[in-house]
Amino acid sequence: MKDLRTTVVAVVLWGTGLLLIHMPGLVAVAIPVVLTVAALLVVTRRRRAGLIVLVLLCGAGLAATVTAAQPARDTLAAQDGHVIEALVEVSSSASVGSDGRLWFDAQTVAIGPPGHPQRVSGPVRVGVAPIDGADLGAVLQVTGQGKRTDAGERAALVLFGTRAEVTTPASGIFAVAATTRAEFIERASGLPEPGAGLLPGLAVGDTRAVSEDVSAAMLASGLSHLTAVSGANCAIVVAAVFWLVSLLGGGRGLRIAFSLLALGAFVVLVTPEPSVIRASVMAALAMLTLLLGRPSAGLAMLSLAVCGLLIADPWLAATPGFALSAAATAALLVLSRPLLRGLGRWMPVPLALALSVPLAAQLVCGPIVALFSDTQSVIGVVANLLAAPAAPIATVIGLLACLTSPVPALADLLAATAWLPAAWIQTTATVSAALPGATAAVPAGPAAAVVVAVLSAAVTLVLVRPRSRRLRLAAAAVVVIALAASIARMLLSGPLASMTTPASWSIAACDIGQGDAVLVRSGEQTALVDAGPDPDALARCLAQTGTDRIDLLVLTHFDVDHVGAATSLAGRVGTVLHGPVAEPADQRILDELTAGGATLRRGAVGTGGTLGSAQWRVVWPPPDSAAFPSGNDASVVVDIAGGGVPRMLMLGDLSAAPQRQLLSSGRVRGEYAVVKVAHHGSRDQEPALYAQLAAPAALISVGAENDYGHPREEALALLEAAGSRALRTDRRGLVLLGEAEGRLVVWTEREE
C-alpha cells in the first residue's frame, strides 16, 4: 500500500512538473502559495489525508523551484538572435553533433553583449568547434549567437559558438576524473573495431567515438540503452564494491560507506546524465535503508527518488532519458516477476528468467519511445538477451582499466579484456539490426504511443494470464491481429513487395521524402537518377519495383538529399555517372561505389549511352563550366527516350538561370512526355523552359514535411500554364509511368 501511495505521488508530481515548466513565470508564482495553503486546509479539516497533503506539498516545492528559476531563464531567453559573450561552466559530458560541433550542457556564470556580460546563472546548451578541456567543471568563454528554446526544455538558450577558449580548467576531483577518462578513451582508441568506439560509452559514458551507423544499429536493435552509461551501471558499481568490501571482511556500515563513495566517484567520472542521477539517488536510498536495518521497498524508493529529483530539477520531467530510465526500473520491479511466472509455463525457468527482464523493460518503455521515435525495435528482446549480459563485464573491467591507468601494462590488458564484450555487443547490434523486419515504422506522437501501449498491455495480459476469461480473450485477439498485420506488412514490403505494383512501368519516382530518386527501366537494364537521403526508404522503393541491380547510377550533384543513400548500393551498381566533385566527402562516396565494382564517368554535355534499348544523353552542364563549377546549378541533366521509355528530361536541382541557358542551347527541342521538375518544385524556375517542354506529366519528388514550402505555388502555377500535370510523391507516394499503345499511362500508390 505504501508503494502505491508513493507511486501515485510520483506520477502526479511528474504531470505537475510537465505542466509547470510549460507555463509562463507569472502564472507559476502563485502556485506554491496556493498549494501550500490547500495542504494546510486539508490537514485541519481531514484526519486521514496524508496522500493529498503529500501531493500538494510536493507540488508546492516543485512550483517554487520553477518560480525561483524563471527570472534567470527569462534573462537568457532575451538573448535570442543576438551575438553574445558568455562565461559558462560545463555541467555534462560532451558529444559531437551532426554539424561537427562539440555540444554540452552548461550553467552560465555571466552572459551579455561582447565585452559587457552580466552575471546570470541559468542552463544553456552550448555548441562549439571541437576543443580540448571542455570537461565537467571547466569554465569556458564562448562568443556566438543565441537562440531561445521552446518552453519546457532544460536549456533556456542554445549558444552557437564561433569562438571558445577554456578560461578555468576542471580542478580537483573533476580534473582527476577528466584525466582518467581521457587516458582510457585514448587507450580504447587503439583497439580494433568492432567494439573500440563503443567501449568508452559502456565504461565511462563518452559516446564521441560511436559512429552514426553504430548508433543507428544500436537503436534499431533495442540496445541504445547500452550505448552510454545508464542506471544499470550504477547498480553494477554499487554491487561490485559492496561485494568486494564484504569479501575483505568489512561490516555493514563500512560496506555502505565504501559503496556510496564509489557511487559518487562513478557519477563524477561518467558525468551526471539523467538516468545516472536517478539511479544514483535510488542506490543511495537503498544503502540508507540497509543502514537503518529496514527491508528495501524498490518501488517506494524509486518513487521517492523521482519525487526528490523532480522537485530539485523540474525540467527532468520532459527529459526522455529520465522517463525511460524510471519506467524501465519500475517495469523490472513490478512486471518482471509476473512475466517470469507466465513465461515459465512455456519454457525452461532459466530462459524465462533471462527473457523476463528485457521483455518487461520493452513493454513499458515502448509507448514512451513511440512519443518521439518513428521506429520500434521488433528484435529488441532477443538482442538484449544476447548482448545485455556482456554490459556489466565491459563496465566493471573498463572501470578497472581507468583506475589502473598509472600502471600502463595492466591498464592495457584490462582495456583489451573489456574490448571483447564491447565487440560482442556491437556485433549483436549490427547483425540483429540488419535482419528483415528488425524495426517497425511507427509515426511518432501520442496516437502511436496509445497504439503501442494497447499492444504492450495485450502482450502482458496474454503472458500473465489474468483470471478474467474475457480479458484474456480480448488480449489474445489484439495480439493475433497485430501479428497478422505485421506479417502481412513484412511480406508486402519484402518478398511480395513487387506484387503490389504494376509490372509494366518504365519510369518510377520513388517516395523517399525530401530528395530525388527516379528509376528508369528499358528491357533488362535499369538506371537510377539520384539515390535520396535515406537508405531504408530507397530499399523499400527498390523492393516495390523489383529492382535488384542498378546498371547506371546518375548522381546529379552531391547534396545529401540526392546522394545520402548512394553508398548503400555499393556492389550493385555497374556505372556511376556523376556531377562535379567539390568536397572530400563527395569523393568518398565515389570511392565506396568503385570499391564495390562500379565504373566512374564524369557527366557533362556530350556524354551519352544506351540503357537497354533506350538512348540517353547529358544536356547539362557544359564541360569545365566556370560559371557553374559545382552544386545545384551544375546538376547533371539527362534526356532519355526510346526502348519503351517515354521521352523524359530530368532537371536535377537547376535554378532559373541555368534553365534559361539550357533552353537557349537548343539541346531540349521536340516533344517530351515527362519532366522531373527541378529542385523539388522550388519557385526559382524558368517558365519558358517548361512551356517549351509541354510535358503532360511533371514529377515532383518532395517530402511531406520540409522547411522550404516545396513545391511552391509559383512552380505549380507555371506547370499548369504549360499543360503539365503535377505528380507529387508527398501526396501520391510511388509514381509509376509507362507507355501503352502510344499513350502515357500513370499509376500512383495513393490518390491525391
Three-state SS sequence of 9-69 = HHHHHHHHHHHHHCCCHHHHCCHHHHHHHHHHHHHHHCCCCHHHHHHHHHHHHHHHHHHHH
What confidence tens digit (pLDDT) does each residue in 99-116 have?
678 888 888 888 888 878
List the alpha helices (DSSP H) in 494-634. 535-544, 560-563, 584-595
Q: Is pLDDT of 405 > 70?
A: yes
Whether omega for the bond prior to residue 194 falls within 30 degrees of 0, making it cis, is yes
Cα-based torsion angle of the residue sequence 561, 562, 568, 569 in order, rounded to the nearest 10 degrees:
160
Distance CA 44, CA 318 (A): 35
Please name the helix (run of DSSP H) or strand (run of DSSP E) that holds residue 641, with its range, or none.
strand 637-642
Whole-number Å distance between alpha carbons of 552 and 555: 10
pLDDT interval class at 27 (50, 70, 90): very low
Cell numbers at residue 496, please? 511480395
What gap in Å lies between CA 19 and CA 63, rounded to an integer? Answer: 10
Question: How high does pLDDT run on average in the chain?
Answer: 80
Supply the pLDDT for residue 494.
54
What's the distance, CA 119 to chain centroid?
35
Region of 623 please: left (phi>0), alpha (psi -120 to 50) or beta: beta
Integer Cα distance of 224 and 103 in angstroms: 19
Phi and psi angles of residue 168, each rounded to the nearest 5 degrees, phi first? -135, 105
Q: Does the pLDDT at position 30 exceed 60? A: no
pTM value > 0.85: no
Mean pLDDT to the nearest integer, 421-428: 87
Q: What are phi and psi of 619, to 5 degrees?
A: -110, -5
Least confident of 30-34, 174-178, 253-257, 548-552: 30-34
Q: State the pLDDT at residue 331.
A: 78
Q: What is the pLDDT of residue 1?
A: 47
DSSP string for 514-528? SS--EEEEETTEEEE
The span from the CA of 643 to the CA of 31, in Å, is: 74
CA distance 335 to 386: 21
DSSP annotation of 622 reads P
pLDDT bracket for residue 26 (50, 70, 90)? very low
pLDDT at site 696: 93
Beta strands 645-650 and 637-642, pairing class: antiparallel
- Position of cell 519532366? 675
Check residue 249 and give its pLDDT. Answer: 80
Looking at residue 191, what is its pLDDT?
85
pLDDT the model gives residue 232? 62
Query: Helix (H) and strand (E) counts for the chain?
Result: 26, 24
Lowest mean pLDDT among 229-238, 533-542, 626-635, 681-690: 229-238
Q: How many CB atoms within 10 Å of residue 441?
A: 12
Of 170, 70, 63, give the one whose Cα is nearest residue 122.
Answer: 70
C-alpha–C-alpha distance, residues 650 and 653, integer Å: 9
Determine the Cα–Cα distance for residues 126 and 105; give it in Å rounded to an integer.
6
pLDDT cut 90: percent of the chain above it: 17
Give the lowest-confidence range in 437-446, 476-485, 686-695: 437-446
Most confident option among 210-219, 248-257, 491-500, 586-595: 586-595
Question: What is the CB neighbour count within 10 angstroms for residue 276?
Answer: 23
The pLDDT of residue 553 is above 50: yes
Q: In the prediction, which pLDDT does 273 show? A: 65
> Please, which contacts does 661-664 make with residues 24 or more away whose CB atoms are closer than 8 Å?
662/619, 662/620, 662/637, 662/689, 663/688, 663/689, 663/692
Question: Containing H/E element for 609?
Answer: strand 608-611
Q: What is the pLDDT at residue 281?
A: 74
Nearest 5 degrees, angle CA 179-CA 283-CA 180?
Answer: 5
Q: What is the mean pLDDT of residues 530-554?
A: 88
Q: Is the pLDDT of residue 729 over 80?
A: yes
Lowest mean pLDDT segment, chosen from 271-280, 292-301, 586-595: 292-301
Report which secondary-structure segment, H or E, holds 578.
strand 573-578
Which H or E run includes 276?
Answer: helix 274-291
SS3 (DSSP) at 387 = helix
Question: How far is Cα 422 from Cα 218, in angstroms, rounded to an integer?
Answer: 12
Of 37-46, 135-144, 418-427, 550-559, which one has max mean pLDDT? 550-559
Which of 86-100, 549-563, 579-593 is predicted least confidently? Answer: 86-100
Count of C-beta atoms within a 10 Å radius of residue 372:
12
Indicate whether 359 pLDDT > 80.
no
| Structure confidence at residue 700 (pLDDT) | 93
Indicate the residue type of 637.
Answer: V
Mean pLDDT value of segment 572-596: 90
The residue to which cell 545516472 is assigned = 276
